[in-house]
Structure 1
Amino acid sequence: MDTVVVTGALGTLGRWTVEKLASDYEILAVDLQEPHSSPYETVEYLAADLTDQGPVWEILCDVQPDAVVHLGAVPGAGHRAGTETFVNNVTSTYNVFTAAGEVGADIVWSSSEATYGVTYRDEARPLASLPVDETHPQRPEDAYGTSKVVSEIVAERTARRYGVSVASLQPSWIQVPGAYETPTARESFDPDNPTPSGSLWSYIDVRDVARLVRCALETQRTGHDRYIAVAKDNYIDTSTATAIDRAWGDLAPEWNPKGDNAAFLSAKAQRDLDWEPAHSWRTAEGETVDGPRLKGSS
């Protein structure tokens, strides 16, 4: 059984990912705290600050994992001051990636579609082209998105220097079944003034992201690649073409989307990793499912 270190293991995505992997992997789950006990026979928990290089290196050198799933980070803009967000995310990622490279562990981690930039505050910022895929220029608008761009450079360097594979997953706004935040966002959506548009009204179910992590772990790869992960539809129950036209007007790139198709493409993940999103807000908002065995408040 392969050994995987999962950082940020007590966060929302971390807990769903551990649940997805626990039956088939030996897991060391790392977070700033540890739970009172583990509900999994194959999962041990350890507390560590990823911005402290020493513990990170000691953990990975002791465990010698086959792979590292790096999910530990300030999860978006607006949670902490911009400087703290940037320093925390870049430092922790550098420490984890370099230690993983030293022990020869492949890496799957959570970057963000915020690297491409969409809006800044209340101002709509037209993109260079639509729909957005991994070839679109990266032009982050805040400290969070900037931290992910820099971390992707670290990912590229890690793959090149150490010869390990690194998959930079770029999920959109992550939602939990039965607790989607999209209804509130949809209610506040004004089709006559659809800004700020956030991630172009895109989202992704946490189950789909956890499954993408597993797909990336289990696909033979080399080097570094980015993979956008969004649901197939937008969450506003309005045609994407209408929303884009009203947000950007004549500044909108030429594109004729069908219905409520997402303005981001996950085609690369489907092609390379045999993954595609399976969940939509239309059913998941009111869905009752058994979540991770380890519960949490985040």
Structure 2
Amino acid sequence: METVLVTGALGTLGRWTVAELADEYDVLGVDRHEPHGESPEGVEYLAADLTEQGPIWEIIHDVEPDGVVHLAAVPGAGHRAGTETFVHNVTSTYNVLTAAGEVGADVVWSSSEATYGVTAGEEARPLASLPVDETHPQRPEDAYGTSKVVGELVAERTVRTYGVSVTSLQPSWIQVPGEYETAAIREGFDIENPTPSGSLWSYVDVRDVARLVGRALAAETTGHESYIAVAEDNYVDEPTAEAVAAAWGDRAPECDIEGDRAAFSTAKAKRDLGWEPRHSWHTAETESVASPLEADR
């Protein structure tokens, strides 16, 4: 069985990803601390600060994993000061991807749809096209989105320097079944006067992202590829084209998106990896699902 190293293994996406991969791989989870409870079968954990080059380089060189899944990060804007967010995310991504390249391990890592920066604060930027796909210009508006764009440059450099493959996943707002944060926004949403949304009212279930990680790991890819990950629908339960037209006004592009379908496209992930989202807020908001390593959240 192949070995996969997962960083950020105790984070929200990390826990679900470890659970997704544990049946197919020997998994080594790396996070800032070890879990308090018993580790799942086939999973081990080590503690390391990824912004320090030495520990993660030593771990990766000792283990020589077949694949590396890099999920550790400041998870979005507003959690820490902008400079700290940028430095933390860029430094950890450089350290992990470079060490992976040195041992010949292919990489799957979590970038973000924030790289496209479709709003600037509450002001709507012009959109190049809808639905937004991986060819849309990347123009981040904050330190978080900028750190992810730089991370994708690090991914391209890793491919050129070491000849490994790197897959950059670009999930939207990640939601956990039974704990969705979308209901409150939907209840206050005014289709006549909507606030422009950086995610274009998109979201994605954590289980779908974890499954996409698995598909990307298993795929025989070369070079650097990026894949948007969103649910099929928006979370405001309104026609997407109407919401975009109201929020962007005269700057709104032509939009023929039907009904409440997402304004981001997952066609590339479907074509290349055979992945489609399975979960929607309609059922997942109140769904009861056991969370991996619940005690370590």
Using structure 1 for the length normalisation, give the TM-score. 0.98
Amino acid in the other structure paired with 1:225: E
Higher deviation after alignment, 144-153 or 180-189:
180-189
**1:80-229 alignment to 2 at 5 Å?**
80-229=80-229
Deviation at 1:162, TM superposition (A): 0.5
Deviation at 1:126, TM superposition (A): 2.4
Q: C-alpha offsets along residues 160-212 of structure 1, whole Å, 9 cap, x if unaligned?
A: 11110100000000000111001011112121221131300000000000000
Deviation at 1:37, TM superposition (A): 3.8
7 and 36 in structure 1: CA distance in 2 versus 1, 3 angstrom threshold:
same
Contact 1:110 1:171 in 2 (8 A): yes
Q: In structure 2, what is the equivalent of residue 295 of structure 1?
A: 294
Higher deviation after alignment, 278-287 or 122-131:
122-131
Q: In structure 1, what is the equivalent of residue 53 of structure 2?
A: 53
Q: In structure 2, what is the equivalent of residue 65 of structure 1?
A: 65
Q: C-alpha offsets along residues 128-187 of structure 1, whole Å, 9 cap, x if unaligned?
A: 111100000000000000000000000011011111010000000000011100101111
Distance 2:74 2:235 in 1: 24
Q: C-alpha offsets along residues 196-239 of structure 1, whole Å, 9 cap, x if unaligned?
A: 31300000000000000000000100000000000010000100
**1:7-22 alignment to 2 at 5 Å?**
7-22=7-22
**1:198-277 alignment to 2 at 5 Å?**
198-277=198-277
297 and 188 in structure 1: CA distance in 2 versus 1, 3 angstrom threshold:
farther
Deviation at 1:38, TM superposition (A): 3.2
Distance 1:297 1:39 in 2: 11
Distance 2:84 2:22 in 1: 32
Contact 1:8 1:72 in 2 (8 A): yes
Contact 2:200 2:263 in 1 (8 A): yes
Contact 2:8 2:30 in 1 (8 A): yes
Deviation at 1:297, TM superposition (A): 5.9
Contact 1:5 1:65 in 2 (8 A): yes
Q: Secondary structure at the match of 2:44?
A: strand
Using structure 2 for the length normalisation, give the TM-score. 0.98
Q: Secondary structure at the match of 2:169?
A: strand
Q: C-alpha offsets along residues 215-265 of structure 1, whole Å, 9 cap, x if unaligned?
A: 000010000000000001000010001101100112111121100010000
Q: Which stretches of structure 1, 4 residues or longer, exceed 4 Å deviation after superposition?
A: none
Amino acid in the other structure paired with 1:121: G
Deviation at 1:296, TM superposition (A): 4.6
Aligned residues: 297
What's the Cα RMSD here?
1.0
Amino acid in the other structure paired with 2:84: E
Q: Secondary structure at the match of 1:17?
A: helix
Deviation at 1:119, TM superposition (A): 1.6
Deviation at 1:290, TM superposition (A): 2.3
160 and 38 in structure 1: CA distance in 2 versus 1, 3 angstrom threshold:
farther
The runs of 5 or more residues in structure 2 that have no matched partner are: none
Amino acid in the other structure paired with 2:138: Q
Amino acid in the other structure paired with 1:271: R
Question: Percent identity between the aligned chains?
Answer: 74
Distance 1:185 1:93 in 2: 32
Distance 2:185 2:47 in 1: 35
148 and 176 in structure 1: CA distance in 2 versus 1, 3 angstrom threshold:
same
Distance 2:266 2:103 in 1: 31
Distance 2:196 2:245 in 1: 13
The runs of 5 or more residues in structure 1 that have no matched partner are: none
Contact 1:38 1:44 in 2 (8 A): no
